[in-house]
Copies of this chain bind each other. A is one copy, B any other.
Amino acid sequence: MEIKVLRNILEANEAIAAENRRQFDQHSVYVVNILASPGAGKTSLLERTLEALRGELAMAVIEGDIAGRLDAERIARHGVPVLQINTGGTCHLDANMIRRALSELSLEELDLLFIENVGNLVCPAEFVLGEDVKVTVWSVAEGDDKAEKYPRVFLESQALVINKTDLLGLTDFDLARAQRSALAVNPRLAIFTLSCRTGEGLAGWLNWLRAQVGGRRKADSRLR
């Protein structure tokens, strides 16, 4: 009974995600769903990325949080459209929350939409939103065992950002072990190691993102 209900919920979610996907395709918007534990640096990564790609790509952000609008306020300072979704207790964003938010955005003006999910390394991995890619952010301060303990989010992601490398020498985080264990779960992961605090290592992430958005635009124009 409980399992059947869960399956129904996930199937209904996938149907709505496919509708979101059609809207993104129609307007050639590349969509990144960002997942992480609380405090791994999702918002900081967004701030650094918006700063670096401003003037180059037209971007917007949807912020998902249980409560409050702290992250939306941080993002708004960077001069891009931002919407705050409050889930009111729910531990993840779902496709219907995104569908409702989309009516508030001018998709035809965007190249790149970021969706910052609720801070949770478990549940958001189960709910597709219509995104092109999922990106997981992993903080050095969390320890190097996270891919072994929370494999699903690593399996569902196309890219992994290992953040807070400025803390590497100050914690027991073994970078090689972390990378190895993440690739053991998902050998196709693109892995970036960087520090949003110092800016070190951001270039690799930004170039990957540029290539993703560019690749999508070309694919869309061929279809026309």
Contacts and interface: CB of A to CB of B under 8 A. Distances in A.
A117 to B, nearest CB: 12
A215 interface: no
A98 to B, nearest CB: 18
A9 interface: yes
A141 B119 contact: no
A204 interface: no
B65 A152 contact: no
Contacts of A211: none
A5 interface: yes
B121 A120 contact: yes
A91 B124 CA distance: 10
Contact of A70 (B66, B139, B145, B197): B145
Interface size class of A (residues with CB under 8 A): 35 or more
Contact of A38 (B89, B142, B152): B142
A122 B167 contact: no
A81 interface: no
A2 interface: yes
Contact of A37 (B9, B38, B66): B38
Given A2-B9, A166-B170, A167-B170, A65 B149 contact: yes
Given A119-B150, A123-B123, A39 B167 contact: no
Interface of A: 1-2, 5, 9, 37-40, 65-68, 70-71, 89, 91, 118-123, 139, 141-143, 145-146, 148-152, 164, 166-167, 170-171, 197
Q: Which 8 A-B pairs have the closest CB atoms?
A: A39-B142, A141-B141, A91-B122, A37-B38, A37-B37, A39-B143, A38-B121, A68-B148
